[in-house]
Amino acid sequence: MSPRRNRPNAGGSSFGSSEDEGRRYGGFQSTESWQGEEWSVRHVAGASAAGKTYRCPGCDQEIASGVAHVVAWPQYGGVDDRRHWHKACWNAKDRRTTKVQRSRNAPRY
């Protein structure tokens, strides 16, 4: 039996492209329009969020450590403008009311 050949195909994708690097380091980033403003959106893998908890502005619930989520900020905003959202909350942002309704026993942070 002949040894296995580990050569990339001629028609295969190129290694080290910026798209691959974006997915490898910090998740896939894109730009979306919302409320008349351009937003930078980055998808964060659960492994990248280990040891950290965030509060989702969409549902006002905690995003537990190690849970995949979305980080969004205005395109011309700074570090302080970044917000961490659940993926479902970010996708439903246009269907939500302007004020989040809490139950009586929900903690206020």
Stretch (H or E) spanning 33: strand 29-34
Nearest-5° angle of CA 70, CA 71, CA 74? 130
Residue 48: band (very low, low, confident or very high) from pLDDT cuts 50, 70, 90: confident
Closest CA to 74 of 36, 32, 40, 51: 40
**Rounded to an integer, what distance in angstroms lies between the CA atom of residue 16 and that of residue 7?**
16
Measure CA 9 to chain center: 32
| Model pTM above 0.85 | no
The mean pLDDT value for 58-75 works out to 90
Count of CB atoms within 10 A of residue 54's CB? 19
Q: What is the mean pLDDT of the chain?
A: 76
Residue 97 in this model has a pLDDT that exceeds 70: no
